[in-house]
């Protein structure tokens, strides 16, 4: 397995020389300054690749080549957007970058309600509180229909939080919700978020699936011709939010996506944290079922609460046995190698991490501290080495 590290380019407070000290081999990045829906010029891709190579890394995975939300809604000049996406894929392929991670979450990317929840032995983590999310929807946004999305107990707890929250508490919640957006993407206040949601008010699960299938039909054949692999990232969290449907949440959703257009170019980013937040998901079963479709993995752990809340645990703690997931991926690599597949290795990155030691002072992207992720990478490196040693001794 190839050790990767997510880097936000010019927007990142962590430098490539610092990342080199973690031992990671591959940089996972994107061109964050280019607006959604526009073409990624080959010369800009080449310059970024050269910058990365100058510090001893390769750039094997793009995360992400964003899908414009007009495609998700199914409105506007979609042919232009599809053509631009295909051209960006061609430009990436021309520079030797062959794996593209993307998601199909409408409007918002990953979503948390707390960015600095305290953890045992010090440090902080990202957390999703169902009570706070309900408070945002029911009492701050006053979203029509939101009451039917939450049980009475959660709604009551949300009201308690809202009634006692200060204006700073409420602003911190909105800030946390916005944190999953890319650095160059506009942030919203409550009124702005209300306005941003209006174009999606008629978007239901069936329509989003229909629009997703059209996207696959428009881009996957080109990806296959170019020798690329598209790898969809699961929804995070794996539940409907703000009245927006989520359609990449479990094994059945993944099966639908991979069968909607069968192609070696239609693959999966295995995110153990996103899928692990769904109590109905068996991560070992999912990893095994789709192992041959996984070019890229996010290895992360969560600890779930019965009410649907969760927090990000240390990589080898939490509810998912990451060692067994890694074992499945290593066995898949072995199978690919035995079949003669040239590119048999799976790129992974330690996804998110606790803020530890002086991470708090660096002002890095939420979830992407230096020390916390370096700890996670070191732990995962140890798991991989231990499994390899056990296999060699067998």
Question: Would you name the residues annotated as active-site residues?
Answer: 233, 271, 298, 351-352, 368
Interstrand relation of 58-63 and 266-271 (parallel, antiparallel or unpaired):
unpaired
| Edge-first strand listing for the sheet containing 301-304 | 114-118, 124-128, 310-313, 301-304
Count, residues in the chain: 394
Tell me how crowded residue 46 is: count the other CB atoms within 10 A of its CB: 14
Matching residue, tokens 């989003």: 208
Cβ neighbours of 181 (radius 10 Å): 16
DSSP state of 241: B
Instruction: Report the Cα–Cα distance between both ends of the chain, in Å, rounded.
Output: 20
Q: Which residues have CB under 8 Å from 359's CB, separation 6+?
A: 123, 369, 370, 371, 372
Answer positive or negative: Cα dihedral of 351, 263, 237, 325: negative
Q: Exposed, middle or buried: residue 184 (CB in 10 Å: 0-12, 13-18, 19+)? A: middle
Determine contact, residues 352/322, Cβ cutoff 8 Å: no
Written as one string, the DSSP assignment of 317-382 is: SSSS-HHHHHHHHHHHHHHHHHTT-SS-PPEEEE----B-GGGGGT-PPTT--HHHHHHHHHHHHH
Nearest one of 65, 104, 111, 107 to 208, comparing CA atoms: 104
- Beta strand 347-350 with 296-299 is parallel
Q: Which 3 state secondary structure label does DSSP give 315?
A: coil
């Amino acid at each position: 397995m190839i050790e990767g590290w997510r880097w936000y380019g010019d927007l990142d407070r962590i430098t490539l020389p610092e990342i080199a000290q973690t031992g990671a081999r591959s940089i996972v990045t994107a061109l964050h300054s280019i607006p959604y829906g526009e073409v990624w010029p080959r010369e800009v891709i080449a310059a970024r690749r050269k910058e990365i190579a100058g510090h001893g890394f390769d750039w094997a995975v793009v995360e992400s080549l964003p899908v414009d939300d007009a495609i998700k809604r199914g409105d506007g000049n979609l042919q232009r957007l599809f053509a631009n996406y295909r051209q960006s894929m061609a430009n990436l392929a021309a520079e030797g970058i062959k794996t593209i991670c993307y998601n199909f979450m409408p409007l918002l990317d990953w979503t948390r309600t707390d960015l600095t929840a305290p953890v045992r032995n010090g440090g902080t983590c990202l957390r999703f509180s169902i009570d706070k999310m309900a408070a945002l929807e029911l009492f701050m946004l006053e979203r029509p229909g939101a009451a039917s999305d939450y049980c009475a107990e959660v709604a009551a707890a949300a009201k308690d939080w809202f009634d006692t929250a200060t204006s700073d508490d409420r602003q911190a919640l909105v800030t946390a919700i916005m944190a999953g957006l890319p650095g160059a993407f506009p942030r919203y206040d409550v009124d702005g978020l209300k306005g941003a949601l209006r174009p999606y008010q008629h978007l239901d699960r069936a329509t989003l699936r229909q629009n997703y299938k059209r996207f696959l039909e428009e881009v996957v054949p080109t990806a296959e011709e170019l020798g690329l692999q598209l790898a969809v990232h699961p929804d995070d969290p794996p539940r409907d939010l703000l009245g927006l449907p989520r359609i990449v949440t479990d094994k059945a959703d993944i099966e639908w996506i991979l069968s909607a257009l069968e192609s070696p170019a239609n693959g999966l980013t295995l995110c153990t944290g996103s899928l692990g937040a769904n109590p109905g998901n068996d991560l070992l079963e999912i990893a095994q079922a789709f192992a041959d479709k996984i070019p890229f993995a996010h290895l992360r752990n969560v600890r779930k609460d019965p009410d649907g809340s969760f927090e990000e645990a240390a990589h080898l703690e939490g509810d998912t046995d990451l060692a067994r997931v890694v074992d499945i991926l290593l066995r898949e690599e072995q199978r690919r190698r035995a079949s003669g597949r040239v590119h048999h290795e799976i790129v992974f990155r330690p996804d998110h991490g606790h803020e530890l030691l002086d991470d708090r002072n660096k002002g890095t992207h939420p979830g992407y501290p230096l020390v916390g992720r370096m700890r996670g990478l070191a732990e995962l490196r140890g798991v991989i080495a231990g499994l390899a040693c056990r296999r060699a001794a067998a």
